[in-house]
Amino acid sequence: MTFLNLSIRMLSNLLARSLSFSNRSYGFVLIGAIFLSGFLSWQYQTGFRVGDGAVKQQQLADLVHNGFPDFSCRYSGAKFDPDFQFLPLDLKKGSTMTHVYNGKCYYVFPFYYTAIQYPFALLFGRFGSYLLSLLFGILTLYSLYRISLLLKLSEKARSSFLAVLLLGSAFSLFATDLSETVIAIYAVTEGIYFLLKEEDSPSFKNYLFAGLLFGFAAFFRQEVILLAAGISLVQFFRIYQKRTSVAFPFSFGLLLFVQAGINIAVVGHPLGSRGHLQSSSNYDLVAQLIYLSQLVFWGKGSLGLLGAYPALLFAIRFRPRTINSLSQILLGILVFILLSGLLTSTRFWQGVLFGPRFLMTVLPFILVYLLSVLDQNWESLSKPAKGAAILLLVYSIAGGLIFDRLYHKFTRSVVVEQAELSKFSSETVVYRKGSVFLPSDSFSTPRAVFEINGPEQFDPLLEKLYETGTHKLTIIGFKDAYPREKLVPSSEKFEIVNRDFKQSPSINMETIEIRKK
């Protein structure tokens, strides 16, 4: 036997054992857990984040500082700016991150995520939030394995699905990043498992558990409300055949009612802070249709569902021909996508991700269903169709890997810029509107942070800072929007001295001292 033949046989045996190992629940979950742990160690960048992640990080720091259950944000100007004129990223300024209610400020992300992170932060510090995501990512893998049994995936199909999920989707990122999305993904996936299980083992409890799980998911991602509505709408047309299905919308609605009560008590809106954001947007049907196309195809930094996974065309080709639990879920997801495009705010971008960010709650199930369709219909496909299916799956895996690399590169650049900004900036930071936003705790040591909406707000802010003894501050703006000559607005009441300018790859920053004229 030649060395080449021996090597091929060894690789073949290794592959066969790997397939067999992943065909067991513990093997499937263990392989995924090992990959996600490695992915976390690769992506984790000292815990610092920008944008959404930075704000969620700040929410947690504020809760730890304020003490449970005070979910309000700490504002550096609370003592001299009771009207929150200089609060960064306020909705009333046309931004999307903060809002004011009942004399306090709040971030728009669900405070339930902050609450569930709280014990992890106390036990493990900043890394606890990432550990929480990893835990729910692993739980999701177990739920997906159980669904793969109900869908009767073969060994090869199950292994292929695991590869597409971990390498070709943003699931690995959400399962290892600072995000509430993976909690909702788990609860929705487990809820779908109970809905599917009901087909072979009819039980009132299956609908009850599914509704409770969807209700739990809605605490973290409110698009789940539209998902549950879509599934409930489809179920309604068969309620005369399965009256026990009423337990799903009832149990979901019960938790939704509880959530609305808590939201009103804390932030004054039944939909929480996101409700304030939604109500601050003007409805534009054309913009909503464009947004729907972004969810399905591409736009705003990301590929949509079909743009990232064109192999789903096979799932459309071999769609279910009978009305059962599976077809109801699929129709409900279709309604959910339509409702998401037509009803949710268009003010958020998809992000630098492979696949639709705002459909992530259902994406893992969609992918496992896609592999089940290919698995069950493989023998009936022609050779060209089989080749096309393989190439399309390889395309999705390659796309996922490329975007993961881009995100890694992006986070590394953020850490570099954050370090430069921390080293250069004074204790007081003023952002120009539309610039990169790093909250107080994103610096090496906490800073007082403010935002000016335009040059006309510069002197009013300087007066308030001067009265509190702050004579030195750092102005920050994107270099394209705020070149050096426009970064620091002119002042009629103060003399600007001791100017120190620095430029990072994307940011202009200038530290100044002020004196009364």
Instruction: Look at the block and give the residue holding tokens 């304030």.
Output: 276
Cα 443 from chain centroid (whole Å): 23
Phi and psi at residue 177, in whole multiples of 5°? -115, 175
User: With contact defined as beta carbons under 8 Å apart, do 272 and 110 qualify?
Assistant: yes
Q: How far is CA 373 from CA 82, 158, 313, 377, in A?
A: 59, 12, 11, 6
Q: How far apart are CA 76 and CA 72, in angstroms?
A: 13
Coil, strand or helix at 237: coil
Which residue type is seen at 393?
A: L
Q: How far is CA 61 from CA 108, 352, 402, 497, in A?
A: 15, 26, 33, 34
Q: How far apart are CA 281 and CA 261, in angstroms?
A: 23
Residue 476 has what pLDDT?
Answer: 93
What secondary structure, in 3-state letters, does 330-388 show? HHHHHHHHHHHHHHCCCCCCCCCCCCCHHHCCCHHHHHHHHHHHHHHHHHHCCHHHHHH
What are 496's strand-pairing partners?
514
Element (H, E) at 124: helix 111-124
DSSP secondary structure of 48-90: ---THHHHHHHHHHHHHHH-TT--PBP-TTTTT-TT-TT-TTB
Residue 46 has what pLDDT?
Answer: 52
Element (H, E) at 507: strand 507-516
Q: How far apart are CA 420 and CA 442, in angstroms?
A: 12
* Helix count and strand count (H, E) for the chain: 20, 9
Q: How far apart are CA 89 and CA 95, in angstroms?
A: 5
Coil, strand or helix at 476: strand
Q: How far apart are CA 155 and CA 368, in angstroms?
A: 13
Six token digits for residue 20? 């067999």
Cis ω for the linkage preceding 69 (within 30 of 0): yes
Query: What letter would DSSP give residue 481?
Result: T
Residue 267 has what pLDDT?
Answer: 93
β-strands 507-516, 472-478 pairing: antiparallel
**pLDDT values of the chain reduced to their tens digit, one per residue, 517 residues:** 454 454 445 444 544 555 566 678 888 999 999 999 999 988 776 555 666 788 888 999 999 999 888 999 999 998 899 999 999 988 888 788 889 999 999 998 999 999 999 999 899 988 898 999 999 999 999 999 999 999 999 988 999 999 999 999 999 999 998 889 999 999 999 999 999 998 777 788 999 999 999 999 999 999 999 999 999 999 887 776 778 888 999 999 999 999 999 999 999 999 998 888 777 667 788 888 888 888 898 877 788 899 999 999 999 888 887 778 899 999 999 999 999 888 887 777 667 778 888 899 999 999 999 999 999 999 999 999 999 999 999 999 999 999 888 888 887 887 788 888 888 889 999 999 988 778 888 888 889 999 999 999 999 999 999 999 999 999 999 988 999 999 999 999 999 989 999 998 888 999 999 998 7
What secondary structure, in 3-state letters, does 303-316 show? ECHHHHCCCHHHHH
Which residue type is seen at 112?
A: Y
DSSP secondary structure of 196-213: HHHHHS--HHHHHHHHHH
Instruction: Look at the block and give the residue holding tokens 């009832």.
Output: 250
Which residue type is seen at 347?
A: R
Residue 364 has what pLDDT?
Answer: 97
Six token digits for residue 251? 């149990």
User: With contact defined as beta carbons under 8 Å apart, do 142 and 29 qualify?
Assistant: yes
β-strands 448-452, 104-107 pairing: unpaired
User: With contact defined as beta carbons under 8 Å apart, do 177 and 45 qualify?
Assistant: no
Q: How far apart are CA 273 and CA 179, in angstroms?
A: 17
Six token digits for residue 406? 């881009």
Coil, strand or helix at 268: coil
Pick from 445, 431, 448: which is nearest to 90 by CA? 431
Residue 7 has what pLDDT?
Answer: 42
Element (H, E) at 12: helix 3-22
Residue 49 has what pLDDT?
Answer: 62
